[in-house]
Amino acid sequence: MKLPIILDTDPGIDDAVAIAAALFAPTLSLQLITTVAGNVSVDKTTRNALQLVNFWNAGVPVARGAATPLVRPLRDAAYVHGESGMEGYAFIEHDRKMLDQTAADAIYHQLMASPEPITLVAIGPLTNIALLLTQYPECLPRIQRLVLMGGSAGRGNFTPNAEFNMAIDPEAAARVFASGMDIVMCGLDVTNQAVLTPEFLATLPERNATGKMLHALFSHYRSGSMSTGLRMHDLCAIAYLVKPDLFTLKRCFVAVETHGEYTAGATVVDLDDRLGKPANASVAIDLDVEGFRQWVAEIMAQMP
């Protein structure tokens, strides 16, 4: 039995790798891709998702999501991913269209039509997930769990205290963590360890067409460098679904700060139970790095 998943994403170069893994991991069944503003605008993330689906000739539908955070103006990460979000590779023209539904509507209908609960995977800001829970609270029992890339038990990578996805829409993240949903958080504590070496990156073009495309994108990706290694933040969420034994998790209470000039978006991760609040998430705090790299090589071999 394959695990049915819905992927909410803001492609984004490392999102492209995560989408590939979600498509081609033999144990996963990707039902729907939804897009959100984050790394770049939602128009660009939707275009990028459609380009990737077309590149792999996949039959997965794509729905466009929120163009802005719940209450804040959008701040993007074009400085990391390039102006288009996926600089470096010339995708061919295509005629694929997105669904005529919002992301929240599309997720809701997919959840309610499924014969079994579905796992949500969110690797961008949590705006669409917060909107889903607000507009369709009755769908909560249809969600098996949420596996997300975001947050940190330590320092941030966008502000000193906040990881990018949480900082872009703190209000959405706070709503999601307070929802009662079963949450697995793969934050910077593990994603900063998920580094692909220069030696591995150099082999990508000779592996397959996907490897050639990803290598071209990676040459424009600024989460590390091709000469020192690249961090695969979003890929960790997919890796957890396929190889959970690679991760060390801790059940604890997590809150998201929504106020403060310097702290908005910070995840308060109570690893030592100092607040005495019930745990609401399983937080990944360590990664088997060599096992992760071996899995990446294995999943790359599954790609066309």
Catalytic site positions: 233
195, containing H or E segment: strand 195-196
119, containing H or E segment: strand 118-122
The three-state secondary structure class of 197 is coil
Other beta carbons within 10 Å of 116: 9
The three-state secondary structure class of 63 is strand
Which token pair is 51? 């380009």
Which token pair is 239? 């890796």
DSSP state string for 203-230 = HHHHH-HHHHHHHHHHTT--SEETTTEE
* Count of alpha carbons within 13 angstroms of residue 197, beta-carbon side: 9
Beta-carbon contacts of residue 297 (< 8 Å; ≥ 6 apart): 200
The three-state secondary structure class of 280 is coil
- The overall longest dimension of the chain from CA atoms, in Å, is 55
Give the separation between CA 258 and CA 267, rounded to whole angstroms.
Answer: 10
